[in-house]
Amino acid sequence: MARKIIFFDTGPIITLVMSRLAYILPKLKEKMKGEFYITPSVERELVERPLQNKRFEFEALEVQKFIREGILKVYKDIPQKKVNELISLANSTFTINNKTMDVIQEGEMESVAAALETKAEAVIIDERTLRLFIESCKDMQALLEQRFQHKVDTDLKKMKQFSSYFKSITILRSVELVSVAYKIGLLNSYIPSVRNGKETLLDAVLWATKYNGCAVTEHEIEEIKQTLLR
């Protein structure tokens, strides 16, 4: 039986580390009986660059430790031709005043391209842009217009072509990983001895992911809480 594979973009690892929740990764990996992969670009963003910055040096060492222990493995067989093709397609889909917009970066595209190549179970991406690009053209255009405060034109043919590559891929966020960790009891030692202690814990960890980089709305947090506290 093939082992399950999950790829991580840079953002979710940063979110978990900064939220002091990275310790759930080894336990989730063991529970899943699979492999957690990052790409070389993601490794550079998580380890090599932060090691040059005193502010994030320890966080980089924490991720490096996960790599050394095999909790995170670096997937080096990147389908670079496909990555370049997808980046070119994505970054010519939206325009402002007839000028194309670079909306997708190499690291996240490496992750989804490698996930396609390996038939991975999921890709963990916290940043909203790529997820909306794949899931919702209308919302993606609205996000870009809000971000740049300008009318954005969309090539719908390219948008649909890009999205069609990823129909088989499940995209999750760190907030969903934390929700799973809560559901299977990995966070139980943090439940305070007060009334509604479970709700207090769940609220704390979900908001921690939001404040540390995960693109999740307050409404989504409330929906997750309602589901898990039933």
Ordered DSSP codes for 9-58: -HHHHHHHHHTT-TTHHHHHHHHHTEEEEE-HHHHIIIIITGGG-GGGHH
- Is 155 inside a domain boundary? no
- Taking the C-alpha atoms of residue 228 and residue 198, their distance in angstroms, rounded to an integer, is 10
Domain range enclosing 5: 1-80+103-136+168-230
**Is position 144 within any domain?**
no
CATH number at residue 178: 3.40.50.1010
pLDDT bucket at 134, cuts 50 / 70 / 90: confident
Domain-located, residue 151: no
Q: Is 67 inside any structural domain?
A: yes
Q: Is residue 109 part of a domain?
A: yes
**Does 200 score more than 50 pLDDT?**
yes
pTM for the model: 0.92
Distance CA 38, CA 100 (A): 29
Does 221 map to a domain? Answer: yes
Q: How many whole angstroms separate alpha carbon 23 and alpha carbon 207?
A: 17
Q: Which residue has the tokens 């009986």?
A: 33
Confidence of residue 168 (pLDDT cuts 50, 70, 90): confident
Tens of pLDDT, residue by residue over 52-92, are: 999 999 999 999 999 999 999 999 999 999 999 999 999 99
Number of domains the chain is built from: 1
Residues 170, 24: Cα–Cα separation, whole Å: 20
Per the structure block, which two tokens stand in for 202? 């769940």
Q: Is the pLDDT of residue 1 over 50?
A: no
197 in a domain, yes or no?
yes
Quote the Cα angle for 111-117-121, to 5°. 70
- Which pLDDT value is given to residue 22? 98
Q: Which of these ranges, 68-72, 74-78, 124-128, 179-183, has the smallest mean pLDDT?
A: 124-128
Residues with Cβ within 8 Å of 85's Cβ and at least 6 positions away in sequence, in order, are: none
Is residue 185 assigned to a domain?
yes
Q: Which residue do the tokens 């919702």 mark?
A: 136
Q: Chain-wide mean pLDDT for the chain?
A: 93
How far apart CA 197 and CA 8 sit, in angstroms, is 31
| pLDDT of amino acid 2 | 57
Strand intervals (E) in the chain: 4-8, 34-38, 73-74, 94-96, 99-100, 122-124, 153-154, 170-172
More confident position, 2 or 226 = 226
Dihedral, 108, 118, 182, 178 alpha carbons, nearest 10? 0
- Rounded CA-CA distance 111/46 in Å is 14
pLDDT in tens, 9-41: 999 999 999 999 999 999 999 999 999 999 999
